[in-house]
Structure 1
Amino acid sequence: MMPLEGIRVLDFTHAIAGPTATQMLAQLGAVVTKVEPPGTGDTFRHYTEHAGLPGLSIPFAAVNAGKRSLTLDLKAPEGLAIARDLAGKADILVENFRPGVMARLGLGCESLRACNPGLIYLSLSGFGQEGPLRDRGAYDHIAQATSGMAMMNATPEGPLKIGIPVVDSFTGYLGVIGVLAALRRRDLTGQGERLDVAMIDAALKIMGSAASVWSYTGEAPKGTGNRGFRLVATAEYYACRTGWIALGANHQHQIAALFTALGHPTLIEDERFATHAARVTHYADLKGWLTAQMLLHDAQALDATLAAAGVPAAAIGKIGDILSHPHTAQRGLLHSATLPGSGPGQDQPLTILGPGFGPGFPRPEKTAAVPVLGADTDAILAELGMDETAIAALRNAKVI
């Protein structure tokens, strides 16, 4: 049995943060109905510059597989009535419009919870539902910029964003944590919850240690580029004769083991490198020495040597390297989905990532399907008691 079996989620989300949240709920067993505008759907469907077919981009598929798609014009009275009917039967509603949009559509939290007191209503936005910045739009790289994350990732050339939408994704996961807590509270009280999760808050949560450092010292931590958190040269990225390697020797025994594995066991006795404070002070000297040493080795061979010596390190690879590694397969992270093809019988398999709770966590019995826009509209409306004539009338009126 899946943990959220029987839970119904109404999904008014688009792009990354909201769909990430609702897909996680689907992977935990909830039935997720994704509501999309007729004709266009979620704009993320069209990000085919990365990969995919028209209306079915792979980035969209990655965070929407396993959901049902209902097309609905929320500005039409008939569409609004259907949405409110579905919300009255839902356990969870998730939306990531700008603050105030859902209320203007007639789907605000207070209005819906008046009819369904047990509804858990999750709003995801750039800066939250309250505060002076609430009306500003945000994308992942904007949240990285505003939060200080890009500056903490800076090199001497300037600030750098992290290359993946890390804030978007973490915002979705933070929303799921809130939903699960709200479900537990509802079990005890019978009452739903209003959850307000902002990308800026999620970014700051990721940077929690930096926030406390700033509070204590009054200074923002400086950008470190590829340097590790302890600011020593033995925890950094280096070019090798072939490839690149990440070193992660932070503690005395690890650094001693690193020097020994590199054939210089007495280097730990050098007063410049003998203690953590000395290694920070003489960072440039140690980095220069390590830069020269790394160029004597092949990254993959050095990876194996350092692993055997107990030194945290890894050859720097591409995502396909770890996805195709037997370790990842054994971890149970890789799930199968079905990607609709360009015609009948042309569906193809697609790998998506599961919830990440380890190989022992239960998996859905069915393979997740990537929803074609509006593919489940008729079935969902039939569940509400509509017959074929009523559904056809809605389609003719372009409500669905």
Structure 2
Amino acid sequence: MTRQTQSSIKASTTIAPATEANLGIKALKGVRVLSLALNLPGPAALQRLRTMGANCTKLEPPGVGDPMAHYNTQAYGELHEGIKVLTADLKAPEGQRALHKALAKTDILLTSFRPAALKRLGLGWKELHKDYPGLSMVRVVGAPGPEADLAGHDLTYMAEAGLVPSLALPPTLYADMAGSLLASEAALQVMLRRQSSGKGSEMEVALSEAAQWLGLPRRWGMTQPKGVVGGAHAGYQVYACIKGRVAVAALEPHFAQRLCEAAGLRAGAHLKMTSPATRKALESFFAGKSRREVDALAKAADLPVHTLPPGR
């Protein structure tokens, strides 16, 4: 096992300091995490664990390493800040020896292999638990249970959850990032279990289930076109303004009233926030305002409003 040469490209910004500041107490201080997970969900989870105080090491295959290092150097750099990255060929005897030497000193093993691949590598839970009783394992998979060996990716899990309503791609990798949060949550759970039982345990985190969790508001109808936060409420919309857009989230009655007053509309029985007329009036109001004017108005009236550049 040798230290891998790190990318010389430094990210212009890093998520770690702000995240650490928000987390405060290091809940996983002293916990040793070993990750075999590549691409986005695993490294994102590992970075979360590091910010919670864990001592994090990652094994990458020789040669190509983590594909993310090639397709997005900024993401790779930020997610591996403070992570000890080593190389090991897990298909070779030498790599297996290095892996098991590391496992003997590990509290949590994080993986993103399909179950069949784990079995081929001799990393099935029964074997691991027998050899390392105190070791816990968090497995990130695409789909739960028997479907974990099926091919899939963020986009397919999002589509299954009803979160791809058009031909446009989702603006971010929701299933991957939500899965990383569930994986870091699972790491906390297995450590709590070990505190009470003295033994390690295993948890599976499925990206498809993470997407389903994110999709619950849509399934409930909240974000459907007729839902209050899906387009039916005039105070919860994105409006065009001069050289930009306005994200308006005046959902609660006091915010809605304040918004209407700022727009010169008299709130009353005749003015309903679900009325097309109200939406049209607010649309006309914002269409005549610049982003600077809207920002000033939001600050003066204490409105939950955020201006944006024109859509692309």
Whether TM-score is above 0.5 comes out as yes
Percent of aligned pairs sharing the same letter: 28
Taking a change above 3 Å as real, the CA distance of residues 2 and 317 of structure 1, as seen in their structure-2 partners, is farther
The Cα of 1:226 is off from its aligned counterpart by 12
| Other structure's SS at 2:199 match | coil
2:208 matched to 1:194? no
| Other structure's SS at 2:232 match | coil
Q: Distance in 1 between matches of 2:80 and 2:225?
A: 35
Taking a change above 3 Å as real, the CA distance of residues 28 and 317 of structure 1, as seen in their structure-2 partners, is farther
Is the contact between residue 222 and residue 230 of structure 2 (CA under 8 Å) also seen in structure 1? no
The Cα of 1:317 is off from its aligned counterpart by 5.7
1:39 aligns to what? 63
Q: Distance in 1 between matches of 2:98 and 2:215?
A: 41
The Cα of 1:98 is off from its aligned counterpart by 1.8
Is the contact between residue 145 and residue 161 of structure 1 (CA under 8 Å) also seen in structure 2? no
Residues 85-137 of structure 1, C-alpha deviation per residue, up to 9 Å, x if partnerless?
21122100000012221111112221111111111101001112x13x32222
Q: Distance in 1 between matches of 2:286 and 2:112?
A: 47
2:256 aligns to what? 255
Q: TM-score, with normalisation over the residues of structure 2? A: 0.84
Q: Distance in 2 between matches of 1:88 and 1:9?
A: 11
Is the contact between residue 303 and residue 314 of structure 1 (CA under 8 Å) also seen in structure 2? yes
Residues 8-55 of structure 1, C-alpha deviation per residue, up to 9 Å, x if partnerless?
11110111101111111112222211111111101111014xxxxxxx
The Cα of 1:224 is off from its aligned counterpart by 3.8
Q: Distance in 1 between matches of 2:55 and 2:259?
A: 51
The Cα of 1:310 is off from its aligned counterpart by 2.8
**One-letter amino acid matched to 1:244:** R
Q: Distance in 2 between matches of 1:35 and 1:224?
A: 46
1:61 aligns to what? 77
| Other structure's SS at 1:3 match | coil
2:91 matched to 1:75? yes
Is the contact between residue 44 and residue 177 of structure 2 (CA under 8 Å) also seen in structure 1? yes
Q: Distance in 1 between matches of 2:54 and 2:213?
A: 27
2:20 matched to 1:19? no
| Other structure's SS at 1:38 match | coil
**One-letter amino acid matched to 1:181:** Q
2:156 aligns to what? 142
Deviates more, 1:8-17 or 1:103-112: 103-112
Rg larger in structure = 1
1:109-120 to structure 2, matched below 5 A, reads: 109-120=125-136
The Cα of 1:183 is off from its aligned counterpart by 0.5
Q: Distance in 2 between matches of 1:143 and 1:309?
A: 41
Taking a change above 3 Å as real, the CA distance of residues 225 and 98 of structure 1, as seen in their structure-2 partners, is farther
Q: How many residues align structurally?
A: 286
The Cα of 1:225 is off from its aligned counterpart by 11
Structure 2 runs not aligned, ≥5 long: 1-24
**Given the alignment, which residue of 112, 115, 121 partners 1:99?**
115
Q: Distance in 1 between matches of 2:187 and 2:194?
A: 10
The Cα of 1:305 is off from its aligned counterpart by 1.0
**Given the alignment, which residue of 165, 187, 192 partners 1:184?**
192
2:299 matched to 1:291? no
Taking a change above 3 Å as real, the CA distance of residues 226 and 42 of structure 1, as seen in their structure-2 partners, is farther
| Other structure's SS at 2:164 match | helix
1:269 aligns to what? 268
Q: CA RMSD in A?
A: 2.3
Q: Distance in 2 between matches of 1:92 and 1:111?
A: 15
Is the contact between residue 237 and residue 246 of structure 1 (CA under 8 Å) also seen in structure 2? yes
Structure 1 runs not aligned, ≥5 long: 49-56, 152-157, 214-219, 319-400
| Other structure's SS at 2:297 match | helix
Residues 55-83 of structure 1, C-alpha deviation per residue, up to 9 Å, x if partnerless?
xx111112121111111111112211221
